[in-house]
Structures are given as structure tokens and as C-alpha cells.
């Protein structure tokens, strides 16, 4: 994880988003190891906020989006490596000079081999089942703001090479409506190989670009098989009632898809609509019977356009 340091990004919400990050770090840290990247000089205040269960690593950082800035870890021949996807502030939408160097800093700190790739993207733009299948939103990768001059086939070949996957499922996504160009981790996630959780708008909500994106994803996934040839099972989870959620903002993300799977728990956003929050928790309890489901309120993180998955990044032991 990473401690938000940029007042330019968060302004008067900086203290509130830090409380959200501390809450997530404490929840995960009470169940498994957590490393929190901290801008040098802020260690004491972060230790007070996050407690003793969280390990601090002093690295120059700008913001909290570890999913996109930390290298994507892969295993090859029993060895862990880190793919550096050349973080660029989501195609130059924000200035993140420190965050652009985090991948190399983390790999150097832990002595992990760096895998170079010419592709510019972020960890939130794709989702793997761990067995050769990758879901990607085309809008966030096949985009001139990240990969000018490269078409989808070229990018797919690079993703396969870097990540070791054999099948890529392309979902259209939405260009230009949010800072990420519609990362897949707010739309569709694997609960297990062959099982996809899909975000749906709250029933009765007027159609918009996001609901149409979910409709397109649903149509693609309905007839799709994974890398092993197994037909996908799709489970839809509706967003909460927008009139009942406790968070606000034009960029607010109220998708339950932005969850994090840990070793012992699944960390699930909750939004204040008790009925929708409860239904989501029931679905996750069914899908992850061997893990504790831990609902967390993250209204300020969500107001910034992300969630728990966006603010965490898993690293395999090895």
C-alpha cells in the first residue's frame, strides 16, 4: 500500500483519505503482512495512524494508488519477478514523478528481478484468474494517451509475453470519462477460475456510459471461455442505491468490484445502503467460504475514483 502525500491531488480531503488508508491497512495488517510505502519524513505520523502491524518502507511517493504504481508480480520457474508497466499518471492526466519510480524502487528494495515491457498501463486495467486468462478494458490500454501507434493485437502480444497469460478477454470500457479510462477492476473481477463477478447499476438507474459498458461486458462474457476452454459463470452484483450511500462526488465509485483478496480475508467496500451492502457480503461469503469477509467504509478513497483494490497490491511470497 502507499500513504497519500500529495496536497495537490487531495486538498482539504487529505486527512480524510489518510484515515481511510489507515483503516484498510489496519484491517489487512491484523490478518497478514502489510508493507506501506511512506514519503520520507512522514513515518512517525503514519506509525501513529496505522499501528505496529504495518511495516513502513520509506520511499518517495505521491499518492495512494498502489495497484497502479507497484510492479505487477509474476512467477516463472518458481521465481518471483516484477513487471514494470511504466506508470505515467494514467496517460499524463496527473503529474506523478515519484510514483513513476515506485516500481523500480520496490524491486530494488526487495532484490526482485525487473521485467521490462514497452507497454504503458496500470495494474487496475487488467485482471487475471492466475491460470492463463486475462480480462482487460480496451479503453484503458489501447489508447493514444498510453500506447500511441500500437493496436490491440500488438498490445495483447506484449501482455501475454509480460504476464505469461495465454488468453486475453477484451472488454470495451469507456474512454475519457474518468482518470483511468475505465479500469476493469471497477467492472469485472475473477472470484475463482471460471467465475466472474460483474458490476451492475442500481435497478432503475437511467442508462449511461457506465451501465452500457457493463451491458457490453455481460454480452462478451456470456459466450466466453477461459484459457482452459471452460465456459465462464457470471454473477452480477448491483451497486447500492445512490440515494442511500454515505459518500459523494462526481468521481465517486460505488462498485463492489473494487475488493481485495488477501490470504485470510476479502476486503469489501461498503457504502451505507444496508440492503445492498448486505447482499454483496452474502455473495462474497458464498464465493469465498475459506476467507473472512471484511466490509470497510472508504468514502473518501471512493470519492477519488477508486477503492480497496486500487489502493492495495498483492505480492506472492518467494
Catalytic machinery residues: 310
Sequence-separated (6 or more) residues with CB below 8 Å from residue 114: 71, 81, 82, 84, 103, 104, 107
CA 262, CA 274: separation in Å to the nearest integer?
A: 24
Check: CB of residue 128 under 8 Å from CB of residue 134: yes
* Dist. CA 145–CA 149, nearest whole Å: 10
Q: What are phi and psi of 106, to 5 degrees?
A: -65, -45
Alpha carbons 157 and 147: distance in angstroms, whole number: 13
Amino acid at each position: 500500500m502507499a500513504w497519500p502525500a500529495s496536497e495537490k491531488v487531495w486538498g482539504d480531503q487529505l486527512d480524510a483519505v489518510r484515515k481511510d488508508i489507515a483503516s484498510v491497512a489496519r484491517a489487512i495488517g491484523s490478518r497478514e503482512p502489510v508493507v506501506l510505502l511512506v514519503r520520507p519524513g512522514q513515518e512517525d505520523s503514519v506509525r501513529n495512524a496505522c499501528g505496529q502491524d504495518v511495516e513502513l518502507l520509506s520511499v518517495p511517493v505521491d499518492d495512494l494508488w498502489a495497484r497502479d504504481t507497484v510492479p505487477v508480480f509474476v512467477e516463472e520457474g518458481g521465481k518471483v519477478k516484477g513487471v514494470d508497466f511504466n506508470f505515467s499518471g494514467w496517460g499524463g492526466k496527473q503529474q506523478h514523478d515519484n510514483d513513476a519510480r515506485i516500481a523500480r524502487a520496490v524491486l530494488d528494495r526487495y532484490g526482485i528481478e525487473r521485467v521490462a515491457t514497452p507497454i504503458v498501463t496500470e495494474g487496475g486495467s487488467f485482471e487475471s484468474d492466475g491460470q492463463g486468462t486475462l480480462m482487460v478494458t480496451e479503453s484503458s490500454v489501447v489508447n493514444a494517451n498510453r500506447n500511441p501507434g500500437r493496436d490491440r493485437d500488438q498490445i495483447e502480444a506484449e501482455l501475454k509475453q509480460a504476464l505469461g497469460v495465454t488468453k486475453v478477454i477484451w472488454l470495451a470500457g469507456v474512454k475519457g470519462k474518468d482518470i483511468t479510462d475505465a479500469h476493469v477492476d471497477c467492472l469485472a473481477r475473477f472470484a475463482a477460475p471460471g467465475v466472474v463477478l460483474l458490476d451492475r447499476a442500481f435497478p432503475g438507474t437511467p442508462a449511461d456510459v457506465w451501465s452500457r459498458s457493463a451491458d457490453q461486458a455481460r454480452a462478451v462474457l456470456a459466450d466466453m471461455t477461459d484459457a482452459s476452454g471452460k465456459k465462464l459463470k457470471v454473477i452480477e452484483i448491483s451497486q447500492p442505491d445512490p440515494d442511500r450511500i454515505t459518500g459523494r462526488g462526481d468521481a465517486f465509485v460505488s462498485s463492489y468490484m473494487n475488493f481485495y483478496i488477501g490470504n485470510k480475508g476479502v476486503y469489501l467496500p461498503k457504502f451505507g445502503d444496508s440492503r445492498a451492502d448486505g447482499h454483496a457480503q452474502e455473495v462474497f461469503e458464498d464465493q469465498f467460504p475459506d476467507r473472512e469477509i471484511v466490509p470497510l467504509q472508504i468514502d473518501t478513497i471512493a470519492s477519488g475514483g477508486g477503492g480497496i483494490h486500487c489502493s492495495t497490491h498483492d505480492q506472492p511470497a518467494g
